[in-house]
Amino acid sequence: MSDSLSAFNTHIGRICDLNHSAALLEWDQETYMPEGSAASRARQISTLREMSHELLTSDHTGELLGKLESHGLAPGSVEADHVRVVRKDYQRATKIPATLIARLAETAALSRRAWMQARSQNEFHIFAPHLTKIIDLCREKAESLGYKTEIYDPLLDEFEPGMATAHIRSIFEHLRERLVPIVQQFASETAPNDAFLHAHFPRDKQWEFGLDVVKDFGYDMNTGRQDYSAHPFSTTFSISDVRITTRIDENFFNPGFFGTLHESGHGMYEQGISPELERTLLADGTSLGMHESQSRLWENLIGRSAEFWSHYFPKAQTTFPGALSGIDEDEFYRGVNKVSPSLIRVEADELTYNLHIMLRFELESALLEDTIKVVDLPAAWNDRMETYIGIRPETDSDGVLQDIHWSLGAFGYFPTYTLGNLISTQLYNQAAKDIPDLAGQIGEGSFTELREWLRLNIHKHGRRKSAKEIINETTNSKLVIESWIHYIEKKYEKVYGR
């Protein structure tokens, strides 16, 4: 057996090396690559991804899995968990025909271009035929993967393994019922002032300030680094090399600062994976929802909390005297938590964000089920925006054309954003029980205990435990909406001064 195990580890190790090399090529593409080499780079990334896919779907993988499964590895061991997860990835990857993958990639490339053109010209009809093709291919993909009840299930499973569409639907329905009235209530009140956040915040100072905070959080610069990119992201080349990027708007404090906090949450998740999982397919976040819970926790539950700013506001004021002189801590706290219903998801506040997601989930699942037609999509989008958030887009560019996801065929991705928000509060409330002095610690800029709690309960497992297992075992409860609703109500009462 040790021979098979060693062959298995070598084989999967190569897949990991190819994936991580492709990730480095992508990182370089977004940070330092000279403009002239876009075509060559795309080709190189595609080669590495193809070779990784060929290795994973090869007969060799199937043979090694068969041998190791018949040997009966100790249940609960790293080896058994690894074999289980690779079996799952192998099945998924082998079920989708290579020709379908090629057609999807080709269609997505054209579709993405059409989407960009449609959005810039506010012409939905340019994108519509491409979207129709993408939906057909996604249906074909779902059929190849197979499902018991809903066509959305196997697509969702790629991003949120083990989560059922029915469960999402039920969670979202409850959430909508509770949330829409809350949003309406706050939208009618006088919003806090946040004009000072739109003053001049020098680039270098923003960079340092954000980086100092994430170092305090525990983002490890010995196994990480931060660079500039047009769109912020985090990426992993090994457990000991997890990088984040940020962008800076010199005339608005929020994007750079909260973006940095957000990406550091993703980064700390991957830095915290147990080193024994290095170079296995277990060394990754267990689901996108769980990943997003970590970024949202540091961005919102910590970074937008009163305790946090009681410690960091004086430093912010010293760092940005031009913008923040004459502003007090309370005013600043309210400013960074201002609620304002908006048309664009990526600019949405904490309160309305999940409504943007629900709308997308409802529409994309209806498209797959063919209960809504592509031609009717813009109107359906606008109607829901009006019902949920209270405003109606004047253009499709500000409506149905705003997100890139559908053009790339990423159906099943959107719900993970809201799952992330829900999971983050449920986990955080548990952390606050387990660490009685948590609020006090945050008020002192001390995050060691929280970081360690997250590492032990979530990060270190990588993919060994599912999101569901982690939530159930850590909080003694299934995923619920109450933690988040309670958090939102309490917070916005404070922000709106009642």
Task: Between 48 and 389, name the residue whose CB sits nearer to a second copy.
Answer: 48
Report the alpha-carbon distance of residue 467 to residue 470 in Å, rounded: 5
Task: Between 89 and 220, name the residue whose CB sits nearer to a second copy.
Answer: 220
Q: Which residue has the tokens 């750079």?
A: 256
User: Of 26, 263, 350, 362, which residue is the catalytic one?
Assistant: 263
**Which pairs from 351-354 meet CB under 8 Å and 24+ separation?**
351/179, 351/182, 351/183, 351/186, 351/488, 351/492, 352/183, 352/389, 353/417, 353/418, 353/421, 354/175, 354/179, 354/417, 354/418, 354/421
DSSP string of 180-213, one letter each residue: HHHHHHHHTSPPPP-GGGGS---HHHHHHHHHHH
25 binds a second copy (CB under 8 A): yes
What residues have CB less than 8 Å from 137, skipping those under 6 apart? 100, 103, 104, 107, 409
Task: Between 283 and 288, name the residue whose CB sits nearer to a second copy.
Answer: 283
- From the number of C-beta atoms within 10 Å of its C-beta (0-12, 13-18, 19+), residue 435 rates as middle
- From the number of C-beta atoms within 10 Å of its C-beta (0-12, 13-18, 19+), residue 406 rates as buried
* Sole window of 218-226, 400-408, 434-442, 490-498 interacting with a second copy (rule: CB under 8 A): 218-226
Number of amino acids touching a second copy (CB under 8 A): 39
101 binds a second copy (CB under 8 A): no
20 binds a second copy (CB under 8 A): yes
Task: Between 223 and 441, name the residue whose CB sits nearer to a second copy.
Answer: 223
17 binds a second copy (CB under 8 A): yes
Report the alpha-carbon distance of residue 278 to residue 440 in Å, rounded: 35
Closest distance of CB 27 from a second copy, Å: 9
The residue from 1, 110, 166, 221 that contacts a second copy (CB under 8 A) is 221
Task: Between 210 and 341, name the residue whose CB sits nearer to a second copy.
Answer: 210
The residue from 225, 345, 392, 405 that contacts a second copy (CB under 8 A) is 225
Helices and strands of the chain, counted as H and E runs: 21, 3
Do 420 and 295 touch, CB atoms closer than 8 A?
A: yes
The DSSP bridge pattern shows strands 234-238 and 226-228 to be unpaired
Do 297 and 265 touch, CB atoms closer than 8 A?
A: yes
Task: Between 237 and 417, name the residue whose CB sits nearer to a second copy.
Answer: 237
42 binds a second copy (CB under 8 A): no
Report the alpha-carbon distance of residue 149 to residue 450 in Å, rounded: 40
223 binds a second copy (CB under 8 A): yes
3-state secondary structure 57-124: CCHHHHHHHHHHHHHCCCCCCHHHHHHHHHHHHHHHHHHCCHHHHHHHHHHHHHHHHHHHHHHHHCCH
x/- mask, a second copy, residues 233-262, rule CB under 8 A, reads ----xxxxx-x-------------------
Is 347 catalytic? The answer is no
30 binds a second copy (CB under 8 A): no
Closest distance of CB 276 from a second copy, Å: 14
The residue from 2, 3, 39, 72 that contacts a second copy (CB under 8 A) is 39
220 binds a second copy (CB under 8 A): yes
DSSP helix/strand/coil, 241 = strand
432 binds a second copy (CB under 8 A): no
60 binds a second copy (CB under 8 A): no
Q: Rg of the chain's alpha carbons, rounded to an integer?
A: 23
Closest distance of CB 204 from a second copy, Å: 14
436 binds a second copy (CB under 8 A): no
Report which DSSP code applies to 226: E
Give residues 146-185 in contact with a second copy (rule: CB under 8 A): none
Closest distance of CB 104 from a second copy, Å: 20
The residue from 9, 30, 41, 466 that contacts a second copy (CB under 8 A) is 41
Kind and range of the H or E run holding 236: strand 234-238
Report the alpha-carbon distance of residue 178 to residue 492 in Å, rounded: 14
Task: Between 44 and 229, name the residue whose CB sits nearer to a second copy.
Answer: 44
The residue from 9, 11, 13, 331 that contacts a second copy (CB under 8 A) is 13
214 binds a second copy (CB under 8 A): no
The residue from 53, 92, 205, 279 that contacts a second copy (CB under 8 A) is 279
Closest distance of CB 273 from a second copy, Å: 13
11 binds a second copy (CB under 8 A): no
Closest distance of CB 304 from a second copy, Å: 28
* Sole window of 19-27, 80-88, 137-145, 172-180 interacting with a second copy (rule: CB under 8 A): 19-27
Active site residues: 263
Instruction: Return residues touching a second copy (CB under 8 A).
Output: 13-14, 17-18, 20-22, 24-25, 28, 32-37, 39-41, 43-44, 47-48, 51, 220-225, 227, 237-241, 243, 278-279
